[in-house]
Chain A
Amino acid sequence: MIRRRRWLVTTAAFAAVLALVASGCGSSNKSSGGSTNGSSTTSTSGGSSSGKTFANFRLAYDTGIDFLDPGLSYTVEGWGIMWNVYLPLIGYKHANGPDGATIVPYLAEALPTVTNGGKTYTLTLRKGLKYSDGTDVKASDFKSSIVRDFKIDSPGVGFFGNIVGAADAAKSGDISGITTDDATGKITINLTAPQGDFENILATTFAALVPADTPAKDQSTTPIPSTGPYMIQSYKPNKQAIIVRNPNFDASMFDGNVPSGNPDKMTVDIIGDDSVALQRVISGQDDYDFHQPPPDRLSEVQSKYADQIKVYTPANTYYFFMNNRVAPFDNLKVRQAVNYAIDRSALVKIYGGLGQPTENVLPPTYPQYKKHDLYPYNLKKAKQLIQESGDAGAQVTVWNHDRGTDPKASAYLVSVLNSIGLKAKEKIINSAVYWTTVGNQATKAQIGFADWFQDYPHPLDWFDVLLNGNRITQTHNNNYANFDNSAVNAEIESLKKEPSLTDAVNQKWAKVDQDVMEQAPWAPFMNRQFVDFFNSDIDLSCYENHVLYQFDFATICHK
């Protein structure tokens, strides 16, 4: 079960707080792919950028941290902190833009060797690694960390379901598919079937190594010893987290893949209210505003502090799903009509203009992205298609949750559907239950709002999770459209087995995108953009926005 985490621009005093807590049946991640608008920082970080260290980086964070336990956290708030604290065997390159999607060895000496037809992954742990408390890192810690995930019912266990013996790992406390040798540092993982995105899964924080004796329950407030350049010194939920350097970390052991970071300390101030957070950064109480500045105050911020803003587009797609199993959306013409009827630039405007219109499933930051323009805005054609479909006047309920700007998108859609000859009304429910409600077949949700932020940069995290008909479930369904096209399913299944994303494979994925949209199960409308705002002490020439973890706190520097 892939979870999603949403990242909403909210301005209501406490709606902000709430929206940012992981919601729905999953957590996607506000993740970035390359900053737009030419802020092309090229600093590739490797090793310690000497001379750039400074005492304290203060973040005006939001309240979205779910856990600071690598086994449990499934929010960008948690991951943003922890990817510099808890290292997996392999991980993402610290780099700005698309380059960050490259997977490099972290705790392992090299990338895994894949044998046995894509079913066996072999890695070797680097020698001499120590946790922040001084104990040695052992190969067997990898196994115990994964087993711990199962024991604590980690939201990440779904990712490891393909490992041999995963099914009863929680009960038995063992996972037979993983064998380790502490003496040589060798780690072998056996899968039940080839899995193209398994390297990405090994790179998640769920697979980060923690000591074998770590208790099998949430350790957020009693931080687990770390392997990365930083360690969590203290965490008071809803108040503050203090991140300091890990005394036992030596960047030279990591071939430059893990930079030691510039701030000696990071103070994460948890602020509930977005205008308070903005004010704290403007007044210099904090250095970085993790919140989205209220759109309302953007122009003020822009006019006064233009040089301290970065705009970026994380890998995300906002869309309306149309349930293929329920009338009238079982009719292709109706689905196409909706695609023609929505004015995507109007929807972008509803989001304050911070977004780019899209008709693709994949976001433009993906190498597999190939823009198609199947449904240019054409209200007349939409009306005509509805007439032809014979479903004119059909009752339609548009579903949405109640947080942030999103309800406005469905309000817009209702208005549009009514104008093309359907009879639409809105159904808004609390965001806490929205995803499980529309993900339940019993609800028979006809059409509704959805968005997706990647869990890891791989097309499988999109097509397989959201649009593979073989993965439709009765409850907790992520394929809200119930899109089940045998040709597309077959394509996804065959591409799933490809161990690496070559150009040829990428071409095929691009075709899947096109094939899907010809069937119009969705009406995608936007790739949303986000804003990072810093106070004037921060030197933005060091700014790096990672493709998955977004702004990299560790590589920032002072003026």
Chain B
Amino acid sequence: MAGTETEFTLDTAAELASEESQRIVGRSPWALAWRRLRRNKVALFSLGVFFLIVIACLLAPVYAKHVAHSGINTQNVQGHITVGGQQVSIVSNGGYLNKHTGKPCASTDNPADCALFASIPIGPQWFNAGGKYVLGADAIGRDDAVRLLYGGRVSLQVGIISSAICTFFAVLLALLAGYFGGWIDFVITRFFDLFYAFPVILLGIALGAALAINGIHWGPIKMDGSNPWIATLIISYVLIPYVGRPLRGQVLSLREKEFIEAAIAQGASPLRIMFSELLPNIASSVLVFFTLIIANNIVLEAALSFLGAGVQDPTPSWGKLISDGQQLIVTRPWLALAPGIAIVLTVLSLNVFGDGLRDALDPRAKVRVEH
């Protein structure tokens, strides 16, 4: 019944590993992992997709300058573009207009000729307008594709930095708890447990709301309420227990191993043991967690921004673009669809790659995705 027939390697690393271990003896675990990962084409493909997205977002200024010819915040309400030889307004005229002339209705006009029109930005031009307005414009005529790429920079930045901070503290706490045990472990695990009692989103918005008014004022650290770092910190903070607890379990079991006992017997300092003995042994799990947490945090950032507790205007992020785009979803659905698809692609690629990485490195590491 067990899946020996498989080449599809999302959860089948165990089998691959056993198969390989017969052939390869004496290589480092990282080389083995790399070998396994290399065979997982889906995971590698996903990694490729993720890097493509990152590169595309990094190239946002180039795209803005040479393809879209429009900056991130360049309004173009009254502008026109030429599509198929015809002049098209970037934002259509609105108001109470004469249906025939398109001019505002005067009192002399026949009321039957007048109708209410809303100003609507131009929709996706794909490649009909020479690279301009590929995904259409927003309400003030900004090029949505440009904003999508710039927004991606923010989303990725928040996702990656917050994951780094989160992972850093989670590892630190896990090492402390696992190594010292006793009351330190007790306090830290209780701290982790405690945070499981709060839904992640709710904790995020509670912090976001509490901090948004006055920002942070702790002695020398002063942050304004709209500082994007606040969102980053909140996001990194709320997920620490979700990474820390499983890592602590691993440290705890490593602690019982002979090589640690030996190191202690030799009189190695706790710091040394933690960082040169324990850390390398959980590094593979940490890497897996880090990857998957990035995915999770990108979604979390989007959710908080949607609720108004994340990245604040005028900074665009994918989450903000979705909530802005929602206002025009009936006439210009791409404004909301495009950033959503960007999130799904990014997160999917990270999840698939993270799974592959886990299979290759450490099949036991499980991270709880929540958003």
Contacts and interface: CB of A to CB of B under 8 A. Distances in A.
Whether A associates with B in a native complex is yes
Interface stretch (A111-119, A141-149, A262-270, A425-433): A425-433
B179 to A, nearest CB: 44
Contacts of A299: 116-118, 120, 331
Interface residues of B, number: 40
Interface stretch (A41-49, A317-325, A352-360, A366-374): A352-360
Interface stretch (A172-180, A225-233, A409-417): A409-417
A360 B119 CA distance: 24
A256 interface: no
Interface in B294-325: 308, 312-314, 323
B225 interface: yes
A408 B140 contact: yes
Interface stretch (B30-38, B53-61, B90-98): B90-98
A429 B225 contact: yes
B111 A349 contact: no
A13 B326 contact: yes
A351 B74 CA distance: 17
A306 B128 CA distance: 34
A311 B93 contact: no
- Specify which of A15, A348, A353, A408 lies most central, judged by the most chain B CB atoms within 10 Å of its CB: A353
Given A349-B77, A433-B213, A428 B116 contact: no
Contacts of A11: 326-328
Interface stretch (A68-76, A123-131, A212-220, A290-298): A290-298
Interface in A288-340: 294-300, 302-303, 306, 309, 311
A431 to B, nearest CB: 10
A346 interface: yes
Nearest to B110: A38
Contacts of A402: 308, 312-313
A309 B117 CA distance: 12
A242 interface: no
B78 A309 contact: no
A343 interface: yes
B116 A309 contact: yes
Contact of B326 (A12, A300, A302): A12
Nearest to B74: A415
B119 A352 contact: yes
B61 to A, nearest CB: 16
A130 B280 CA distance: 85
A428 B117 contact: no
Interface residues on A, range: 35 or more
SS class of chain B's interface: helix, strand, loop or mixed? loop
Contacts of A433: 213
A407 to B, nearest CB: 5
A428 B313 CA distance: 6
Nearest to B314: A426
B314 A430 contact: no
Interface in B157-189: none
A350 interface: yes
Given A13-B326, A302-B116, A402-B308, A354 B212 contact: no
B313 A296 contact: no
A423 to B, nearest CB: 13
A349 B76 CA distance: 11
A324 B316 CA distance: 31
A243 to B, nearest CB: 30
A295 B140 contact: no
B95 A348 contact: yes
B2 to A, nearest CB: 48
A83 to B, nearest CB: 27
B10 interface: no
A430 B119 contact: no
B330 interface: yes
A462 to B, nearest CB: 24
Interface string B108-129: 0001001111111000000000
- Specify which of A350, A355, A426 lies most central, judged by the most chain B CB atoms within 10 Å of its CB: A350
A531 interface: yes
Contacts of B314: 407, 411, 414, 426, 428
A486 interface: no
Interface of A: 10-13, 15, 36-38, 294-300, 302-303, 306, 309, 311, 343, 345-355, 400, 402, 405, 407-408, 411-412, 414-416, 426-430, 432-433, 529, 531
Interface of B: 73-75, 77-78, 91, 93-97, 105, 107, 111, 114-120, 139-140, 142, 212-213, 225-226, 308, 312-314, 323, 326-332
6 A-B pairs with the lowest CB-CB distances in the bound complex, closest first:
A353-B94, A428-B313, A353-B95, A346-B77, A415-B75, A298-B118
